[in-house]
Amino acid sequence: MNMNQPICWIYLKNRSCLTYLIFLTGMVHLFSCGKVKDKTSLSIEKVILEIDTVIVDSKGVPLFLNWGLSTASISSNGRFLYNYNVAETTLEQIDLDELSLIQVVALEKEGPDGIGNNGRGGIVHLKENLILMTGFPSPIIISTEGRKSDALQELKPLKALFADSDKTFLHEKVDPENPHMVYGILMKSPNRDLELGALNLNTGETSILKLPQLEELSSFMMVLDDGNSFEVYEPYLFLLPVNGNILVGSNIMSDLYVYNLAEGTLEFTQMEHRLTNARKIHKLPGEVSDPKIFFFHFKKSQSEISFHLPVYDEINERYIRLSHISHFNEETPNDYPRPQSIDVFINIYDKNFKLIKELPLASTESIPGFYFVKDGLLWIFENIDDEMGFVRIRVN
């Protein structure tokens, strides 16, 4: 499952106005949004939604939007968006305060500063001018000007320090404040015996913490092998440095493991939801040889709740996380079915991950993609006539 497909809100459009259909508490409300700062708000159950739409001035440069900003990251100060252009091997820098493109930096594919295939799985801005580019067999760190850092050059050989040789160290991220500390998930494929691994590149010290609550993820994986084709459908697993924590979770459940970087403690946080289930229920058969059975179970799984990545709102000291449910017609084709519609929800948690509020947000035509919080507003990416646009939402 691709958690970063571009969002496509249902809208009626003319040259000067975008009109969004927002579904709240079972009623349909029309919000007319100007291109930059034409706002409207609606108070329901003492919750105020303020929504507008903004478009980035690309200065005539075609920005890389094909992957729905799945290879983008917000700077640690919230001012800039860095977008890795996979097609052109460039790094696009956007000023979010000015809503304009600042520069496009050409990156080397090979050579001393060569990034190879790193970055295709995503990038993370660390601090100052450093960017982590994910990749296998290990990530790299570059500057925003395209110079490769030697900070992670010892990571690949040091992975061997993890004694259990039949496990793979994946999903590596670094502590933004201490880039010599690398965190990843140790696992046996597929998604079995999961552990949180930490590696100190300076000392070679390692530590491992078990993640027993994630063992059930293997029940939500399915393989199709009919002799002619081989398809794998598995949970989306993530490891995310956020607000002084390392978060480990998946799209299968709202529950999270929270590793406190300052205290070195790991806690499993369970969520209770009222509008939707807190997790998927339909278990998958493991391996099948009939495409009809495979796509039947795929549709059943996609018709249940799926959770996206948590993002932190520093101003309001809370986490925001989108979730969605797909709706299909009755027919089960021998191919990945396209949903007829997708219901999107906003889930708001306090800084200790206690659920504060759930809101039905919209009915859309595709899965919400890249989003973040800036200045207390939730920004959700939208491709508007091949321009980088964002729907901005304030939830009070």
Q: What is the mean pLDDT of the chain?
A: 86
DSSP 8-class letter at 216: G
Has residue 16 got a pLDDT over 60? no
pLDDT digits (tens, 9 = 90+) for 253-277: 999 999 999 999 999 999 889 999 9
Place of tokens 């570059």: 142
> Which residues lie below 8 Å from residue 168, measured CB to CB, with a gap of 6+?
186, 187, 188, 189
* Model pLDDT, residue 305: 97
Region 83-100: mean pLDDT is 98
Distance CA 237, CA 257 (A): 12
Has residue 329 got a pLDDT over 70? yes
pLDDT band at 9 (very low <50, low <70, confident <90, very high): very low
pLDDT band at 354 (very low <50, low <70, confident <90, very high): very high
pLDDT digits (tens, 9 = 90+) for 33-89: 333 444 444 444 456 678 899 999 999 999 999 999 999 999 989 999 999 999 999
Q: Is the model more confident about 157 or about 230?
A: 230
Has residue 12 got a pLDDT over 90? no
Q: Bridge partners of 269?
A: 256
Region 349-367: mean pLDDT is 89
pLDDT digits (tens, 9 = 90+) for 173-214: 999 888 899 999 998 876 678 999 999 999 999 999 999 999
**Amino acid identity for residue 185 in this structure:** I
* Model pLDDT, residue 368: 87
Run of H or E including 296? helix 291-302
Distance CA 386, CA 213 (A): 42
Distance CA 291, CA 339 (A): 18
| Structural domain boundaries in the chain | 56-146
* Model pLDDT, residue 28: 27
* Model pLDDT, residue 333: 79
* Model pLDDT, residue 48: 60
Distance CA 153, CA 159 (A): 11
Task: Measure CA 64 to chain center.
Answer: 17
Q: Is the model more confident about 6 or about 294?
A: 294
> Which residues lie below 8 Å from residue 51, measured CB to CB, with a gap of 6+?
20, 22, 31, 33, 39, 40, 41, 391, 392, 393, 394
How many other C-beta atoms lie within 10 A of the C-beta of residue 62? 11
What DSSP letter does each residue of 235-283 carry, written as one string?
Answer: --EEEEEETTEEEEEESSBS-EEEEETTTTEEEEE----SSS-SB----
Region 348-353: mean pLDDT is 94
How many other C-beta atoms lie within 10 A of the C-beta of residue 258? 19
pLDDT digits (tens, 9 = 90+) for 130-155: 999 999 888 999 999 999 998 888 88
